[in-house]
A and B are shown apart, each in its own frame.
Chain A
Amino acid sequence: MSSENGVLDYALNMVTLPVPVGERQLTLNTFNGQLPGPALRVRPGDNLRLLLTNQMVPAGIPTNNLAYCASTPADPHYDTRLACLQDLWKKLLQGKTPLQAFVYTNIHTHGLQVSPNDPGDNVFLRLEPLAQHQYSYNIPTDQPAGLYWYHPHYHPSTAHQGWQGLAGPIIVEGDIDAVPEIAEMRERTIVISELWIADDSGETPYSALLPIAGDVSYDSMPAVPSSMYFPLNGQLIPDITIQPGEAQRWRVLNAGPDRFIWLHVEGHTMEQIGTDGTPYHTPRSRPHIMLAPANRAEFIIKAGEPGRYRIYAEAYDQGHPGGPRPYLPLATLVVRGKRVNSRMPSTLVEPPRMPNLPVVRRRTLVFSGDITGRNGLGMQMLIDGKEYDHMRIDQEVEAGTVEEWTMVNEDVSQHPIHIHTNPFQVIDVQGIPPGDTSWLAEREPGVWWDTFRIPPRGRYTLRTYFRPDVTGLTVYHCHLLPHEDRSMMGNLLIDPPGAYPRGKP
């Protein structure tokens, strides 16, 4: 879908449908019946209008998930069942039962530097079943040209909807597309999904998440045997064809809620031309690229000799129980056909510059987690020791200013932190584990990110510019979506220039 005359007006229906993946038929929530959702193409200065309709139904609910009200209390003086019913009634009124929360939704345009206020990128919106919402995003004229994406962002159901592959690419076309060598190339947009599916029902379990050891990262309460699938554009281990000597431009998105994708292409290097939507000045050779959840990488791959080459995620320890996540085959690069010799660009475009302004404020944010369950069912993920409160302003900033934030990780799990609306540069990283060779772009100054992982028990300092034309209330959070849902999120209030501090939206 491409914009015409400066407008892309499109309808997205979130609908529950049978979806074939490999040899199985799954029942998933989808955008317009597609896995992933349709690709949207716009240009800087365009108006993107999305009419979102929620047609999801609750699928995947284990029947005994609702039956705990029948359990017998050990304490005869306390009627557990009455307390359960009272709790259920209270949550029902608040719309917080799993039955309700997992089918409420909204949409976030990840990486677009657009207003967080209605009808823009308002992640506080609650779209109930059968409801519609008309979004309208005015994409700024200086939005870097690259890969962005959309996905549901209703707290606390982002992971449940993410496990079903609810995500789609947004491609902002612009200056880098006019680089002659790049303009000649075939282009592929690749969305890597991470589907968590119960083996018996073919649905995403509809329950609390418990991190476990083993190939499947999470379990549910109650437990169900389950599988994880990592399709590329909805296909398991597809062939991707290329001619010998041909250079193709790939835009790759890790849309998974949890798995770090340490991307390798056997026998090939990748010439990276952009990160998280922002292009580089010159291509940078990478033997491998790490994509934490939500990260995007745009690169050129030039095929070598004819043959079949593995495209895979190398095993990586992201801090999950039981050690490294296992090796993961993703696709096969098939080099065949007539030999060509595609030109490679030596210079790309001028990337955005950090304004030469003084740093007006410095902040430190502390991220911590507890996955034992000793504090209640599931995980507990905190920022500055606090659970997320949608009514609280956690950080207040002034548009038009530069700030430095130091992100401290007290957890052994790496946390990829995403700040909505404004990208940032990382000026210092501490605590990269010895021998962890996955940190390449992360060590380079000047790269713009919208999601950056904190090393285990490490820290980094970012510098960001709150653009003066975008104000309002938005969020920052861990993009391991189960962590976001379990409170590793904070509210960010961006005041208009000269109006700091206001204390409320």
Chain B
Amino acid sequence: MHNQGRYVFNQQHRDNLSWWNRTWLPQLVPKGALLEVQLPSDPVRWIPYGEPDCQPSPLWDVAEISGPWYPGGPPRHHRVAVQLEGQHTVPNPERYRESANPYELPGVYIPVEKRVLGSSAITIFDYQLEPGPDDDYSAGRGLATICLRPDPIPDDVRVLGFPPDTPPNYVLTLVVGVRQASLGGGLPPTPLPAPPEVHPGPDVPSQPDDPHG
């Protein structure tokens, strides 16, 4: 089973991370990547929005100072267009119900009946980054931003999976064109095949019996 080569993001991948002093982590994706954003979506629904309101969060220093992709080329924080390809909702009854919360109330256990009920559904948004022309190395590289706003804005943003004092908008800034690499411990990298499909009716070639049999 696989996630179809998509980079999956949820509310925890957003910018403006309260647990990291409201900064963001550099999310690296290759150009043309398929993206999936999963957000708690009941009692709210999420509405995608774009420029001019949707802007990257304050730039990651390395992206900002590292200059262009090549001498005379465009800067690395060049904007990359994102295309929304579809959305659907899956049920998620009570799975985001808030639990005890020692960070907000150290040492205090919150009885279950006093917790935030949370969302009973997840909405999944499918995006693709526009890669640009094949013969333009710098095309499709730079910064991409995904923005969604809730409607209506809930009284308590914790139902969105956000900390209490967080703005309700979901903003995700991506660094595009820098593929994540593995340090790999010096081992040879493995190729990048499509993961094998799993069929309900297996008809794969016979394998030897199990070694312990």
Contacts and interface: CB of A to CB of B under 8 A. Distances in A.
Majority DSSP secondary structure for residues of A touching B = loop
Interface string B1-13: 1111111111111
Q: How large is the interface on B (under 10, 10 to 19, 20 to 34, 35 or more residues)?
A: 35 or more
Nearest to A373: B12
A57 B13 contact: no
A386 B109 CA distance: 8
Contact of A372 (B60, B98, B211): B98
Contacts of A189: 210, 212-213
B28 A222 contact: yes
Question: Which one of B104, B164, B191 has the highest number of Cβ atoms from chain A below 10 Å of its Cβ?
Answer: B191
A277 interface: no
A202 B90 CA distance: 29
A370 B27 CA distance: 24
A140 interface: no
A364 to B, nearest CB: 13
Contacts of B97: 370, 411-412
Instruction: Give the top 7 A-B pairs by smallest Cβ distance, nearest first.
Output: A385-B109, A202-B190, A373-B12, A57-B185, A372-B161, A227-B2, A215-B1
B189 A201 contact: yes
A377 B11 CA distance: 10
Contacts of A33: none
Contact of A219 (B8, B64, B90, B187): B8
Interface string B180-202: 11111111111111011011111
Contacts of B1: 215-216, 227-229, 326, 328
B58 interface: yes
A226 B2 contact: yes
Q: How large is the interface on A (under 10, 10 to 19, 20 to 34, 35 or more residues)?
A: 35 or more
Interface stretch (A19-27, A445-453, A459-467): A19-27
A352 B192 CA distance: 52
Contacts of B213: 186-189, 240
B61 A74 contact: no
Given A58-B185, A225-B3, A239-B206, A75 B22 contact: yes
A225 B200 contact: no
A34 to B, nearest CB: 8
B87 interface: no
Given A60-B182, A213-B90, A199 B98 contact: no
A505 B129 CA distance: 57
A377 B4 CA distance: 25
B131 interface: no
A319 to B, nearest CB: 7
Contact of A322 (B28, B59, B122, B192): B122
28 contacts: A59-B183, A61-B184, A63-B182, A70-B62, A71-B20, A71-B25, A72-B59, A78-B21, A80-B20, A189-B212, A199-B192, A201-B181, A212-B38, A216-B3, A219-B9, A223-B27, A225-B6, A240-B210, A310-B200, A368-B100, A371-B95, A372-B12, A374-B158, A375-B101, A378-B12, A385-B110, A386-B102, A410-B99
Contact of B211 (A233, A378, A410): A233
Nearest to A60: B182
B182 A62 contact: yes
